[in-house]
Amino acid sequence: MSKGTFLKGCVIPLQVVSVKQLRSKSIVIGIVSVSLLPVETIADLTPTFFMGLLKALVPSILMNIYIVGLNQLFDVEIDKVNKPDLPLASGAFSMSTGITIVTASLLMSFAMGIIFKSPPLFASLLVGFLLGSAYSIDLPFLRWKRHAVLAATCILIVRAVVVQLAYFLHMQNHVLGRPVMITKSLVFAAAFMCFFSAVIALFKDIPDVDGDKEFGIQSFSVRLGQERVFWLCVNMLTLAYGAAVVIGASSSFLPSKLVTILGHLALASSLLVRAQSVDLASKASVTSFYMLIWKLFYAEYFLIPFVR
């Protein structure tokens, strides 16, 4: 197993590899998508814009490596039950190797955040570090993943608030040099991703109830049952897609109206059709549907820039 596998948070089984790869790609696509929201004309797409985008991407990817790697360092025993092929759980990587990668990624991320002198970018890295650490580290008052509400809050803040607001402000103010202005597309992105991030936070534990029960992780799936959490997630996404269609219909720009309405209807249809065939007794079936949710999350970032 290569070090690249660890750095992406990937594992050997095909379905789980796809989930982890989509999660890593969603960070890149998310930052690119949000960075396009302050763009007003093609003339804004200058070398300065793309350099600013690169300055946002590299330290953010390194911080993601830290967060994912840290979680694996503290979850080795749980992963031996839930995800036995992860590098540390399988023994492919030693703890010292994992610690080295995680520490180096954190230091390089913060170093770049300081060198680039963008307050919104550095703030996003700092919040990601604090919440990612609180989520995983097993110390008093930490290890928030043990508590369903705190775990969901961590994911929601990072993916729904920090990614949208921090990178938007980084590009609008620090890179393009414009005064801060909250736009319709930014508000939509933050609100929609609140729903989506909550769904991901809820759904990610459905396949892992066995290991979570054994190690006292009180996820919503453990407390409420897999079926109730599954349909809660489906209904939340359906509601979000319905709201997105209404917002798309309100646009005065015909191309934006068509793309947002038809795009969200297509994604909602895909979600509902697949949901009917999921076998909750089969971990492979549940994981496959979880992959679909990540693909829908990934696809949403292609639609967000059309909301105008």
The domains located in the chain, with CATH, are 3-306 (1.10.600)
Tell me, what's the pLDDT at 110? 97
Question: For tokens 């660890």, what's the residue?
Answer: 6
147 phi and psi angles, rounded to 5 deg: -115, 120
**Could you list the pLDDT tens digit for every one of the 308 residues in the chain?**
344 444 444 333 334 444 455 556 668 888 999 999 998 888 999 999 999 999 999 999 999 999 988 988 888 887 777 777 777 777 778 889 889 999 999 999 999 999 999 999 999 999 999 999 998 898 888 888 887 778 778 877 887 788 888 999 999 999 999 998 888 888 998 889 888 888 887 887 777 665 666 566 666 666 767 788 899 999 999 999 999 999 999 888 888 899 999 999 999 999 999 999 999 888 888 888 988 998 898 899 899 988 87
Tokens of 70: 């840290």
Tell me, what's the pLDDT at 163? 81
Among 143, 104, 109, which Cα is nearest to 126's? 109
Cα separation, 244 vs 250, whole angstroms: 10
- Residues in the chain, total: 308
Query: How much is the CA Rg of the chain, to the nearest whole Å?
Result: 19
Cα separation, 223 vs 159, whole angstroms: 24
What lies within 8 Å, CB to CB, of 283 at 6+ separation is 207
Q: What is the pTM of this model?
A: 0.75
